[in-house]
Amino acid sequence: MDRVSVICNAYDTPGSIPYEEVERFYSSLGREIDVFLPWDEDVMATSNRKEVEIITNPQSEWVKGLRLVLAKIRDLKAAPKDWVASVSDEEFTQAAKEIWSPILFDDGKTTSATEHIATADDEAGKTKLSFWDDLKQKIHKEVVHTLEIEHIVVSDESSASAQTRKRVAAIVDDILQKQPNLQFSRDQRTRFSSELLDEILGLGPLEVLMRDPAVTEIMVNAFDKIFIEQKGKLTLTKYKFRNNDQVVQVIKRIVAPLGRRIDESVPLVDARLKDGSRVNAIIAPLAVSGPTLTIRRFSQKPFGPEDYYRFGTISPECMAFIEKCVRIRKNIIVCGGTGTGKTTFLNAISGYIADDERIITVEDTAELRLQQPHWVSLESRPPNVEGKGAVTIQDLVKNCLRMRPDRIVVGECRGGEALDMLQAMNTGHEGSLTTIHANTPRDGLSRLEAMCMQTGVDLPVYVIREMISSAVNMIVQLSRFSDGSRKVTYITEMHGQKDGEIQSTDLFRYVQTGVDENGKVQGVFAPTGQLPTFFDDFAAKGQPVDKEIFLKNAIPLDENGEPDKLAVQRLQQAQQQAKSRQVPPAPPAAPAQH
């Protein structure tokens, strides 16, 4: 046992025996575990790609643990390479050079693996930079110096210029050529240059994620913890910033072109990227664990009805009804929690507004991208350094009334602007649209009441409820489910008051019936059998609606407003049988040969 070093690999694998138990077992044998190597799914993925982990992910916790192992035997000579490897000689040389280099921490000592991992040097920002990042910082400074000499200004506009990127790439390549004893393979050189260009011209490690259309949200919780959302699921990525300062620099690069700032006096900011992505950033002293950045991305191509049918977000009957409501100028509120897709859905149904109508959108951060030609987009403005010059959503909604709008679309009502929005809906601006945060239609009405009270205008509750009941025609509720899918769960009509309470009727519901073996949510969209009180308006305004969409396969509601379970089961069975009877379409005929 004296010639054996005990290494605990993948000590924190989910569902495994706690590493304390393993430690106690070896302690009973009079041995200590020398190093704990963490669980890392990227190690296997890298191996399967026939790549060298220490080069591909030099800052991963697994590689750091491996270097601690080798630090204990660094005086030994590496075995000669006398076997056939799947990596090139250059890659092998670079990996050996990296992995056998002496390990020194800030105190100049080689501490135990358990102690080193527990101290989490990276989180404190005190770990020495790897060779890769050290070289990157060095060359970054040289590139900036060269750009200054050549009077090349790297601005938000020029960063998108292919010519600027080409010139900066040439400068980087030239500097790399002059580095002594630099043994990079072709792939390593390409990767290094790409990462450095992303730092100089873009958003650093986030650029790779921004280029992936499948990534819908990027969340930087700390400089070394970057999460993404893909298909509704959150995942921790392998990408990292060097330190907190680099995160702050990226945030400043985002907000500076918009005339906004972020510092200790203004430690949080909302902004947007050129592609329309919404950005929220918060730094110290408000962000205790370091600067935090959230980027919510939107599809380059706005979603249409066919996309929502494909995603299973809504049924064709429900969408057809919403389309008719928009066309006959009904006031609609889209409700939902955070991340349910309210803004995207609002953008989609705004497409049903006629091209000859003047539309004015009001947003805190401009996100809506309407396709109509007669569209004006307004965006609020935060106060300047002196605390002056702020223009709120409420100010813009009031100003809208002087701009002769046919439709007013407010990206999100959060405060006192709700009262001005209701007044606009009640004074000749029918067909207005907005969103609010709420988990059910009834919660949405309560939130609307509360927001109206935030204006400082002392209105009785019954007056506010009267305004809401007369202004709001429809609430469309969006919800996010356990499998990451988003669905329209309620389409609810508002129709007057009774005994001081706003009356509402669910016209369509989505009822979840279970979860399949793959974790995918199962359920049915169905009408409740109730006709909207304004049903006759459709025919009167030239937008007839088939009454059957409200009655066919209807699911009655009980006295508590809950769907009848037997009716839901029958409808689900009928839909499954109809689906199984469908004959797959014949393949397209081969093109004629000429």
Q: Hey, is 520 helix, strand or coil?
A: coil
DSSP 8-state class, residue 258: G
CA distance 187 to 198: 17
Handedness of CA 83, 88, 89, 90 (dihedral sign): negative
Tell how far CA 360 is from the center of its chain.
26
- pLDDT tens digits along 556-577: 777 777 777 777 777 777 766 6
Identify whether the C-beta of residue 553 lies closer than 8 Å to the C-beta of residue 574.
Answer: yes
CA distance 199 to 202: 6
Identify whether the C-beta of residue 519 lies closer than 8 Å to the C-beta of residue 482.
Answer: yes
Q: Confidence band (pLDDT; 50, 70, 90) for 218?
A: very high
CA distance 201 to 165: 8
pLDDT at 157: 52
Q: Determine the average pLDDT of the residues in 108-125.
A: 38
Q: Hey, is 102 helix, strand or coil?
A: coil
CA distance 322 to 590: 40
Q: Determine the average pLDDT of the residues in 287-315.
A: 88
pLDDT beyond 70 at 101: no
pLDDT beyond 50 at 524: yes
pLDDT at 326: 95
CA distances from 259 to 254, 271, 382 (A): 10, 10, 10
Percent of the chain with pLDDT over 90: 29
CB neighbours of residue 286 within 10 Å: 11
- pLDDT tens digits along 478-522: 999 988 899 999 999 998 888 888 999 999 999 888 888 888 888
pLDDT beyond 50 at 111: no
Find the range with the poorest average confidence among 349-363, 516-530, 563-577.
563-577
Three-class SS of 268-294: EEEEECCCCCEEEEECCCCCCCCCEEE
Give the closest residue to 451 by CA, choosing from 260, 203, 443. Answer: 443
pLDDT beyond 70 at 403: yes
Handedness of CA 146, 152, 155, 156 (dihedral sign): negative
Give the closest residue to 145 by CA, choosing from 172, 165, 166, 163. Answer: 172
DSSP string, 377-423: EEE-B---TTS---B-HHHHHHHHTTS--SEEEES---STHHHHHHH
Tell me the average pLDDT of the chain.
Answer: 79
Give the closest residue to 412 by CA, choosing from 449, 377, 365, 474. Answer: 365
pLDDT at 442: 92
Domains along the chain with CATH numbers: 133-296 (3.30.450.380), 305-577 (3.40.50.300)
Which tokens sit at 248?
């702050």
Amino acid in the structure at residue 139: I
CA distance 37 to 423: 63
Region class of 281: left (phi > 0), else alpha (psi between -120 and 50), else beta: beta
Q: Tokens 């994620």 identify what position?
A: 209
Name the range with the highest mean pLDDT among 16-20, 101-105, 235-239, 272-276: 235-239
Q: Confidence band (pLDDT; 50, 70, 90) for 175?
A: confident
Q: Considering all CA atoms of the chain, what is the largest pairwise distance in Å, rounded to the nearest integer?
A: 93
